[in-house]
Structure 1
Amino acid sequence: MRPVQQSIKILYYANKSEEPFVEIVTVKQQNKRRPSVCSSADSESDDLLPVLIDHSQILNEHHLEQLMNHIPVRTQGYSWKLVYSTAQHGTSLTTLYRQMRELDRPVLMVIKDTDNQVFGAFSSDPFKVSSYCYGTGETFLYSFSPEFQIFRWSGENSYFVRGFLDSLQMGGGGGPFGLWLDSDLYRGSSYSCSTFCNRPLSLHHDFTVRDLEVWTFV
């Protein structure tokens, strides 16, 4: 049953000495989140799934249910639009940057490796080449390998994201990166880092990318 919201509506005053006549108006509280493309009218839980404007090679309803509960509130209730996909755009970090050149909103990276493990990162800023680290404390790493876990900012440093022409780095602190990808978006690695205090996102520290997608919220 959906929660209800009550509001008090004063209809009139009988006279100056009497209490006003009051009516309790009950209004159904609207769910601000949009239904999933695969939702049914009878499924209450499906209402919480986002609309995917484009087809995903990786994400299923289980992934969406978990991720939807952890992305920042300001990105919830929006449809998800595919900005970059290795299946559509080829395997190139340069192309990934180019696809986000005009973007000014958060992005969600989703990776599926050759072990069929799904993991990735939410970035408060679109990925770009930069001479410095960028991003905010909204940035996090996550993994479904073997069960869903999310690794938020530890507060120890601000090495959220840094983009080079030959690699993309997330997390750090005097050692390996929480998530690292090469220029071909083919080889990657994931180690524990002080930025997110994460465990390795993949089954192995070094992994090979099968599919990679980056989504934004519109």
Structure 2
Amino acid sequence: MWLRENVVVHRVQSLIEREKSGNMKLLPGNIKVLFFARGEPHVEIITVKEPKRRLSLSSEDSELEEPEYRKEVEDDLIVLDDHSQLLDDDYHLKMLAAHMPARTQGCPWQLVYSTAVHGSSLKTLYRNMVGLDSPVLLVIKDMHNKVFGAFSSDPFRVSTSCYGTGETFLFSFNPKFQAYRWSGENSYFVSGDLESLQIGGGGGGFGLWLDADLYHGSSFSCPTFRNASLSTLEDFIVQDLEVWTVHN
């Protein structure tokens, strides 16, 4: 590191000398001269890709934070502790892994709810998440065999107001993978009661909506994620549904 900074200092000194001769060139965007001491520049090296701040689990001030994602993931899959009937190939897992927040990296995922195992009940889904304090992945297959869903920064629960953070996003494999991240327009991430579960909103329709029986659903474009409809039709019938959570 000392050698690199020393080289940069000499480079800056050279550029300063050019200024004296009238041939000054702009410094590279990742180099900043903070001050001069005895004619020597103090240089700060700023990486081109500055690290983004990591969101907490709290939804407070989430609109002021920017989630940190793992991009350009190579040969990195989500590790499932149980068999999934919906995420059945490496393509699904690799595409999702590339859009997960960095804080989930290396964490195994366990199945917390499945219609095939637990039946179709939103109440049961809520009950299985009592005591959880970790992100969840909701995966749906409709009657047209289209797979889509949502990543939520918080486990699903009955609430009187919206909760979650800007880490929350919608996704669809319909037909190619597409992730719809937070637009910043509002913070209507997740809300729910005993009658329905809603993800995204603000425009007259929810990005993803499920009824109490987890049988009827709908997906509309919404300002929260600026998403297209996740399913083939805006109103759909659920064939199977799974919810996964990461081990703390």
Q: Deviations over 1:20-70 (max 9, x none)?
A: xxxxxxxxxxxxxxxxxxxxxxxxx99512321111110021100100110
Does the residue aligned with 2:93 lie in a helix, a strand or coil? helix
Task: Name the TM-score, length of structure 1 as normaliser.
Answer: 0.78
1:54 aligns to 2:82 (yes or no): yes
1:179 aligns to 2:169 (yes or no): no
Q: Deviations over 1:119-159 (max 9, x none)?
A: 00000000000000000000000000011000000000000
Runs of 4+ with >6 A deviation: none
Q: Distance in 1 between matches of 2:239 and 2:81?
A: 22
Percent of aligned pairs with the same residue? Answer: 68
Q: Distance in 2 between matches of 1:124 and 1:95?
A: 20
1:120-139 map, 5 Å: 120-139=149-168
Task: Name the TM-score, length of structure 2 as normaliser.
Answer: 0.69
Which residue of the partner structure matches residue 188 of structure 1? Answer: 217
Does the residue aligned with 1:175 lie in a helix, a strand or coil? coil
Q: Compare CA radii of gyration and give the structure with the larger one.
A: 2
Q: Distance in 2 between matches of 1:156 and 1:164?
A: 24
Structure 1 unmatched runs, 5+: 1-44
The amino acid across from 2:102 in the alignment is V
Q: Distance in 2 between matches of 1:71 and 1:49?
A: 11
Count of matched residue positions in the alignment of Structure 1 and Structure 2:
174
Q: Distance in 1 between matches of 2:136 and 2:122?
A: 15
Quote the offset at 1:217 in angstroms: 1.0
The amino acid across from 1:179 in the alignment is L
Q: Which has the higher helix share?
A: 2
Quote the offset at 1:86 in angstroms: 0.4
